[in-house]
Structures are given as C-alpha cells and as structure tokens.
Amino acid sequence: MIALIWAQDQNGLIGANGQLPWHLSADLKRFKRLTLNHPVVMGRKTFAGFKRPLPHRQNIVLSRQTQLALPTDVQHWTSLAELTAYTTAHPDEVVFVIGGAQVFAAVLPYADRLYRTQINGTFTGDTWMPAIDYSEWQLTAQTPGVSDADPAVTYSFDDFTRRKIGK
C-alpha cells in the first residue's frame, strides 16, 4: 500500500528554497507518529534538504542518476518501477511517500491513502502540491488544531482513502 503524506497551505504551497515554508510542531509529530518504522520514499531534492536520514525508517531516495552519493543506510531507486515492485512484494507494508512535488505527481496515480495537513494560512515559497481530484478520494478522518506559534495558525489533519470504482 502506498500513502502520500504532506502539509500544504491554502494555496497548495509545500516548499520554499528546499525546505518547508513553516514550522508546525504538531505536523512534525503527526508525521513521525505515522511514518515511524515504515519505509519512506522521497525525491532527491527533498532528501537534500534533510540534515540526516529520518531515524527508525528505511529511507529510500528516488533519483534517475545512476551515480548518486548517499549515506550507506539510504537506499536508491532510479524509477517508480522499483516502488511498485516493492509494494507488490510487501503487500502488507505501508510505504510512505513523503515528497516533494515531483515525486508526489509521479506517485499519485498509484496511491491508496492520503495524509494531508491543511494549514489555514498563506506562506511564501516555490513548490506546490500537484492538483488532486478529490472526487476520487473519500475523507475518512478530519482533526482540526491550532498551533502554539504567535500568531497562531489553524490547521486540519485530513485522511483520505481512494474511492472504489462505482462508489
């Protein structure tokens, strides 16, 4: 099973200069709680924005480059075929695809679940979530929250599963 997980602002913004445009600790906690002990797949640019691989998760970096210098504990996949082969071989595993925009766009057709954090504000940045047709998705859980930042920002944790054909 493939799950996408991301946070976006009201305009679908997700990135700024290789980083997240905000600091929202509740979102980081949710990300950790959901992804811990699961494989996490990310684009080469998202991984470049990390100080180190995410602990207690198999980190997998997508890049079409054949020679890519990565820490020894980080896996390298050169195509989505490796992702689909992995999910076929591990049908009970939830693989979290954690961004960025290019990788979300490529993986969206294969995704079974979405974990979206909708931040009710507008930020400045350079990377946006690809368009998602939410008529294909069923909202299964929605949890609102308020940040402890000043000024406070409200957000919502929204979980979706892909609708079955005909439902």
Ligand X SMILES: NC(=O)c1ccc[n+]([C@@H]2O[C@H](COP(=O)([O-])OP(=O)(O)OC[C@H]3O[C@@H](n4cnc5c(N)ncnc54)[C@H](OP(=O)(O)O)[C@@H]3O)[C@@H](O)[C@H]2O)c1
DSSP 110-146: G-SEEEEEEESS----SEEPPP--GGGEEEEEEEEEE
Tell me: does residue 87 bind ligand X (CB under 6 A): no
| Number of residues binding to ligand X, judged by CB under 6 A | 28
Decide if residue 19 touches ligand X (CB under 6 A): yes
Of 10, 11, 65, 156, the one binding ligand X (CB under 6 A) is 65
Shortest distance, position 166 Cβ to ligand X, whole Å = 30
Residue 83 contacts ligand X per CB under 6 A: no
Q: Of 102, 118, 123, 161, which one interacts with ligand X (CB under 6 A)?
A: 102
- Binding to ligand X (CB under 6 A) within 105-144 occurs at 106, 127
User: Is 58 among the residues that bind ligand X (CB under 6 A)?
Assistant: no
Q: Which token pair is 121?
A: 């504000």
- Contacting range for ligand X; rule: CB under 6 A; set: 50-58, 60-68, 144-152, 153-161: 60-68
Measured CA distances, 146 to 4, 38, 116 (Å): 23, 27, 16
Measured CA to CA, the distance from residue 33 to residue 28 in angstroms comes to: 9
Q: How far is CA 70 from CA 20, 32, 92, 99, 104, in A?
A: 22, 22, 28, 17, 21
* Range 29-48, binding ligand X (CB under 6 A): 42-46
- Rg, Å, the chain Cα set: 16
Residues 34, 74, 80, 153: which binds ligand X (CB under 6 A)?
A: 80
> How far apart are the C-alpha atoms of 45 and 73, rounded to whole Å?
18
**Chain positions contacting ligand X, by CB under 6 A:** 6-7, 14-15, 18-20, 42-46, 49, 62-65, 78-80, 98-103, 106, 127
